[in-house]
Each structure stands twice: as structure tokens, then as C-alpha cells.
């Protein structure tokens, strides 16, 4: 157990020692930041270069030099950095490996740009058209350098060839997608400033600007060659990008090019030295911090930005601006979908399908407007728009399902309530057609106004069937229950009129009603024939008037009213006669007790 513990401690110490040894101590050198994969077709990040950049805490501005193989890119960068070949980037003829991928100088230069302390990093790229590489690999190197840099120096020896213009197709497409966007918080990165650098001793009486303009003029294409048309389109776009590009000429530093690394400034051509110093000032004047989505990037943010770009460029067989546009629009699409969702969440479900569709279209249009105001890219943004539209449709489907559920839940509750109300009306103590009709109308109106959404039609059909059955059943039972109630009521009134209040007219009316109900049905054999008699209709109308009205519902208040009347009668029987006498306005039964108190006649 003790041996295992010691082994563990030894291995842990060894790992810490190796990790310490792997860390970079001297950053005053060049480091690979992007390397080719084993097949030399795609790119991958290198730890050394990332570590050098991640230390930078101030805004970064990158200067990248691109150009053909063995065109002096590394030597030019060393001149801009004021470094010798032995200190700075390795020059092609000095080492066998040359520059592979993209390299970065580990110690940035710090200058102030618009009052902000900015770190300038210099990037050396692998040359085009070297042996053993694919054109796709060259395109990826060029595309990555174009996106990463703030200033892109296109280093060309002697002249501008057709192939050199064709190389700019990605830069042109990138500029067409991103250049000219309104500056704001959510704006994509600006394309790098393109600096045409022509290394040539004599321009034959032309300025370098005239030379570039001449190279960008249309080439006649009478045969309709597609390649020439494509290059001419690039020429047109480069001419439009005039505000985002400039040109500069640089003479040869010395005739002995293989010994340039051994020469000092005083040994170089004086014209070259003067033009080189002018080039340094020109680069410094057009440099701007790398800004992505309205924010200047520091070291760690620059690395994160680089990872996004590299993933996009490695997708597919050929690097495309469309893949970059998708990467930058991804977050904007998510924000617009979130905006759409937040707008839809505010809706009070359920609602009618028409209103839900209208709300969807309004929120959809607002999200598209927000995307249009923030999105990156012009032509290639359509795919991102399609993605946004597809995601909003998926969200809308969820809201449609939620609306259907809430509608079904609400309409089911209203249907159940109406069903309960109809059951209650069927069991009224005092049957009333007027009260049933009022409840019937109230159920229909409340359901019509409160039940909304896609389930309304289905529940309306169910409600219509249920209400029809309830109405038929009530009408069927109504006459029978009313007949029985009137017979019982007439007998009760006979007893009340004869023995309780002793009101002759009340007793007589009750006997008349009882005799009519009993004799009519016996004379005409069936109770149903009674329901068509005008007298019965009069009795029903009177009953409905007494039992139910908007002011008084006797079904609810019958017992309290009877109790109050009984108390009043009891009070009158006990105390009323003593104070007011026994006289009534209407005929009453004579009091037999009064005869006993009369005096006898002698």
C-alpha cells in the first residue's frame, strides 16, 4: 500500500514537471497558430500559437501577409517588425520546412488607435501554388487569413496575374456579404483592408494605383468563356470595394536576394528602405481593432472567434462564405426565435385559430425584421432566414397544440357546467318552463362567448345534442309534474282555507280547482287531453307568472315565504284579534263561541 502511494506521488510530480516544461517561456519568436492536417486539405489549431495569443488582454488588430510561394512574405513581415531573419519569421531558403499553415509572432506590438491601447499581431501564411498541396487547402488558408486579419497584405512579385485576381474571389464574396453593414452592437466583423503590395523596381511610368486599376479592367470575352466571366465579376466587385482597398509599390531591397538576411539597412537599397518605412506608416494608419458583433476582441475572444471560423471553413469540400454567414447568424437566429417565443408566450390561450394565426404572423414578421436589421451577409443570408423560419414554425406548432389543449379543457369545463345546470333544472321543486328556458338561453350564450379555440365547433355539436335531449325530457315531464303539483296544491289550500285562516273564498277556489282537475281527466279519459284545454293554458300562464319572474324565483324562496306567511297568520290568530277585532274584509266563518255569551231572555 505504501509503495503504491509513493508511485502515485512520483507520477503526479512527473506530470506537473512535464506540464511546466511544456509551457512557453520565451514568446519572442514565431509560433504556428494553424496547421494542416496529415492529408494537407484541412486546418487545425496549434497549441503554441493559441497560448501566445491568449495572453493578450487588450484589443487585437492582425496584419496578415498572403501571396504566392517564395514571394518574400516572411522577409516582408520581418521588415515590418524590424527583425532580422535569424530573429523573426523563418525565410524560405533558410529552412527546409518553410511556413506551413499560419504562424504568428509571439510578441505583439502595442500602439494606440483612436486613443485605445491595441496589440498588433503579425501573421505569416503558407504560400500558394506550392508542391504537394490541393487548391482547396490554399483556399482555406486564404479564407482564414482574410477573416482573421484587420489588414490583408497581398504580396505580389512583379505584376498582377489573372490567377492573383481569381484568388480574391473569397475576399470579394466575403466583402459583398459583410461590407457596408450599418455599424452597431450586433454587426459582423468588417472585412480586412486589402493592401495590394507590388514588389517591382519599375512601373513603366505608371503609379501602382493605375497598375491595379488597369489589372481590374474587363477582359474582352467574345467567346463567352465562363472563367473569364467569373474573373470579370471579381474585377467589378474589387472596383466597387475601392474604399476598402489600397495599393502600394515596393522596390527590390537588393539584387542579391539569397543574401538579404545577412544585410543590414545601410546595405539595402535606400529607395527600398524609404518605401518600407512608408509602408509601416500606411499599415499603422489603416489598422483597426478586430471587432466582432460590436466588440473589440482580446486574446481569448480572438481564439474563440478563430475556432468558429475554422469549423465553418473545414465544413464541406470547399470553404465558402455561406458557411461563415451561417456561423455568425446562428446566435442571431436563436435570439430572433427567442423574441418570437416571448411574443407568443404573452398570448392568453385559448383563442380562435384566426387570432392565433394573426398573432403568429405579426410575431413572425417582427422576428424577420429583427433578423434583417442584425443579420450578417447578404446573398448567403437566405439559408439562415430559412432556418429562422423553420424554427419559428416548430415553435408555432407547439403553440397550436397548446391552444388545442387549452381550448378543449375550457370547452369541456363549460360543457360540464351546462350539463350540470340542465340536470338541476330537471329536478326543480316547482317546475317552471320560463326558468328552464332562461337557464337554457344562459348556457348557450355563456358557451358561445367563453368557449373559444379549435375545440369550439366539436363541443358546440355535443352541446346542441345534450341541450335538445334535456329540453325534450323537461317538456315531457313538465305537464305531469305541474298537474300533480296543482292537485296537491288545491287540497292544501282547501285545508288552509277551511281550518287555518278560515277564508271561505280561498276554500271555494281550491275546491273548484281540485274538481276541475279530477273531473276533466275522468270525463275525457286521459290527462294528455287536458293539456290542450284553454283553461289549462290559463292555469299554466298563471303558474309561470307566480313561480318565476326576473324579480322573484319561487323555487328558491317558496319555503321562506311560506314560513313568513305562517308566522303572520299565527301572529294574527294569537294577538291580532285582541287589538283590531275579528272583522275581515272578506267573508269568514262565524265564530260559534259568541252564542254562548249571549244573555238568556226571561
Inform me whether the pLDDT recorded for 131 exceeds 70. Answer: no
In the chain, where are the structural domains located? 21-315, 328-399, 479-590
pLDDT at res. 97: 44
**Residue 1: which pLDDT band, with cuts at 50, 70 and 90?**
very low
**Residue 99: which pLDDT band, with cuts at 50, 70 and 90?**
low
Residue predicted with more confidence, 298 or 598? 298
pLDDT at res. 310: 82
Task: Say if CB 250 and CB 278 are below 8 A apart.
Answer: no
pLDDT at res. 602: 41
What 379-387 contacts at long range (C-beta under 8 Å, 24+ apart), as own/partner pairs, is 379/176, 379/177, 380/177, 380/320, 380/321, 380/322, 380/325, 380/326, 381/177, 381/325, 381/329, 383/322, 383/325, 383/326, 384/325, 384/326, 384/329, 384/330, 384/332, 384/333, 387/326, 387/333
Inform me whether the pLDDT recorded for 414 exceeds 90. Answer: yes
Measured distance CA(294)–CA(183) in Å, rounded: 8
Query: Which of 264-273, 351-360, 380-389 has the largest mean confidence?
Result: 351-360
**Residue 211: which pLDDT band, with cuts at 50, 70 and 90?**
confident
Q: Residue 279's Cα: distance from chain center in Å?
A: 48
Q: Provide φ and ψ at 104, rounded to 5°.
A: -130, 145
**Residue 573: which pLDDT band, with cuts at 50, 70 and 90?**
low
Residues 575-592: tens digit of each pLDDT: 665 555 555 544 555 555
pLDDT at res. 7: 57
**Residue 277: which pLDDT band, with cuts at 50, 70 and 90?**
very high
Measured distance CA(350)–CA(395) in Å, rounded: 16
pLDDT at res. 180: 44
Lowest mean pLDDT among 199-203, 411-415, 533-537: 199-203
Please say whether the structural domain 21-315 has been given the CATH code 3.40.50.300.
yes
Amino acid at each position: 500500500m505504501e509503495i503504491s502511494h509513493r508511485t502515485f506521488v512520483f507520477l503526479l510530480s512527473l506530470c506537473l514537471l512535464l506540464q511546466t516544461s511544456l509551457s512557453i517561456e520565451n514568446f519572442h519568436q514565431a509560433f504556428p497558430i494553424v496547421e494542416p492536417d496529415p492529408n494537407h486539405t484541412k486546418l487545425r489549431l496549434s497549441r503554441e500559437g493559441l497560448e501566445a495569443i491568449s495572453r493578450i488582454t487588450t484589443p487585437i488588430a492582425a496584419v496578415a501577409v498572403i501571396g504566392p510561394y517564395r514571394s518574400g512574405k516572411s522577409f516582408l513581415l520581418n521588415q515590418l517588425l524590424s527583425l532580422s531573419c535569424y530573429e523573426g519569421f523563418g525565410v524560405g531558403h533558410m529552412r527546409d520546412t518553410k511556413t506551413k499553415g499560419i504562424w504568428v509572432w509571439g510578441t505583439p506590438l502595442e500602439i494606440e488607435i483612436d486613443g485605445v491601447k491595441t496589440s498588433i499581431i503579425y501573421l505569416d501564411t503558407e504560400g500558394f501554388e506550392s508542391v504537394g498541396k490541393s487548391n482547396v487547402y490554399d483556399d482555406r488558408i486564404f479564407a482564414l487569413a482574410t477573416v482573421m486579419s484587420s489588414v490583408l497584405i497581398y504580396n505580389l512579385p512583379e505584376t498582377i496575374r489573372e490567377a492573383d485576381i481569381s484568388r480574391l474571389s473569397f475576399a470579394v464574396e466575403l466583402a459583398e456579404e459583410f461590407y457596408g453593414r450599418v455599424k452597431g452592437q450586433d454587426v459582423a466583423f468588417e472585412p480586412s483592408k486589402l493592401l495590394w503590395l507590388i514588389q517591382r523596381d519599375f512601373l513603366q511610368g505608371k503609379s501602382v494605383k493605375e497598375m491595379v486599376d488597369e489589372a481590374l479592367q474587363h477582359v474582352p470575352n467574345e467567346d463567352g468563356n465562363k472563367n473569364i466571366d467569373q474573373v470579370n465579376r471579381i474585377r467589378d466587385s474589387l472596383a466597387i470595394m475601392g474604399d476598402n482597398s489600397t495599393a502600394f509599390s515596393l522596390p527590390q531591397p537588393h539584387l542579391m536576394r539569397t543574401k538579404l538576411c545577412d544585410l543590414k539597412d545601410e546595405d539595402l537599397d535606400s529607395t527600398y528602405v524609404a518605401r518600407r518605412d512608408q509602408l509601416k506608416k500606411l499599415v499603422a494608419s489603416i489598422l483597426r481593432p478586430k471587432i466582432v458583433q460590436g466588440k473589440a476582441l482580446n486574446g481569448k475572444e480572438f481564439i474563440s472567434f478563430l475556432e468558429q471560423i475554422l469549423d465553418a471553413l473545414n465544413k464541406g469540400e470547399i470553404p465558402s462564405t455561406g458557411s461563415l454567414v451561417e456561423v455568425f447568424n446562428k446566435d442571431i437566429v436563436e435570439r430572433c426565435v427567442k423574441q418570437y417565443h416571448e411574443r407568443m408566450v404573452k398570448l392568453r390561450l385559448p383563442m380562435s385559430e384566426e387570432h392565433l394565426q394573426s398573432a403568429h404572423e405579426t410575431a413572425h414578421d417582427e422576428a424577420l425584421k429583427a433578423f434583417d436589421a442584425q443579420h450578417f451577409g447578404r446573398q448567403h443570408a437566405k439559408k439562415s432566414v430559412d432556418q429562422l423560419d423553420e424554427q419559428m414554425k416548430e415553435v408555432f406548432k407547439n403553440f397550436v397544440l397548446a391552444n388545442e389543449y387549452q381550448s378543449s379543457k375550457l370547452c369541456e369545463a363549460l360543457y360540464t357546467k351546462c350539463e350540470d345546470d340542465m340536470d338541476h333544472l330537471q329536478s326543480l321543486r316547482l317546475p317552471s318552463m320560463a326558468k328552464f328556458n332562461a337557464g337554457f338561453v344562459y348556457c348557450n350564450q355563456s358557451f358561445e362567448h367563453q368557449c373559444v379555440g379549435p375545440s369550439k365547433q366539436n363541443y358546440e355539436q355535443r352541446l346542441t345534442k345534450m341541450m335538445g335531449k334535456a329540453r325534450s325530457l323537461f317538456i315531457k315531464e313538465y305537464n305531469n309534474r305541474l298537474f300533480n303539483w296543482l292537485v296537491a296544491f288545491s287540497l292544501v289550500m282547501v285545508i288552509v282555507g277551511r281550518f287555518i285562516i278560515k277564508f271561505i273564498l280561498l276554500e271555494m277556489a281550491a275546491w273548484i280547482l281540485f274538481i276541475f282537475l279530477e273531473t276533466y281527466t275522468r270525463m275525457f279519459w286521459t290527462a294528455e287531453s287536458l293539456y290542450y284545454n284553454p283553461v289549462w293554458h290559463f292555469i299554466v300562464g298563471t303558474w309561470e307568472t307566480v313561480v318565476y319572474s326576473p324579480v322573484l324565483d319561487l323555487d328558491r324562496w317558496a319555503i321562506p315565504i311560506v314560513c313568513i306567511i305562517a308566522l303572520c297568520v299565527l301572529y294574527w290568530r294569537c294577538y291580532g284579534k285582541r287589538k283590531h277585532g275579528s272583522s275581515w274584509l272578506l267573508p269568514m266563518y262565524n265564530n260559534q263561541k259568541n252564542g254562548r255569551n249571549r244573555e238568556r231572555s226571561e
